[in-house]
Amino acid sequence: MKRTLLAFAAGLLAAGLVAAAPREAAPAGEDIQLVATNGVAGKPNVTNSLDGRPVLTVSNVQPGQSRTGQVTLKNTGSAPERVWVWQTALTTGPAGRPDLSAWVRLSVYDSALARTVYVGPYNGFPPVDRPIQLCGVPTKKDACPSWAKGESHTYTFTVTFPDAAAGSGVNVNSYQSTWLRSQLDWTSAI
């Protein structure tokens, strides 16, 4: 199992208001932090290019802005592998505040296949009981094959803090000083 950790906190908001970074969120000065780690004992068959280093570190995100980061996964095993990704450990805060994970949007783009594998609310990213299969390069016989030995894919994670449409009744300032964290796990099997 491979792990990618994602933490997000609402920072600079509408009307130029600056939110103080909550202590429970990413380290000081960071509103978004995405870290890639290999979380398995022994030699993993799918590795990532940034093991333990940030994929994405952002501060002062404003409504309407997006931030992106990339990680490359590679099948380093000796055979084709099926690969899946899911989200675990989603937490938001502080208690009693709006759920930032319901407002923030997440998309995951696979550059090897030139397609988006997920786009939607952050809290809608599939959990372990509904993982997303990450397809290998399609063939005439299989639209979603295993990854070939040595096959790699670069994934772009985009986190967007949407602005509220006029008259929508949503006050984006209510997300000031809120935060969220989650972990994205991936695994493979022959």
Residue that is written with structure tokens 């209510």 in the block: 174
Q: Give 73-128 pLDDT, tens digit per residue.
A: 899 888 998 988 888 778 888 889 888 889 889 999 999 999 999 999 989 988 87
98 in Cβ contact with 174 (< 8 Å): yes
Which range scores top for mean pLDDT: 53-62, 93-102, 136-145, 164-173? 136-145
Mean pLDDT in residue range 20-26:
38
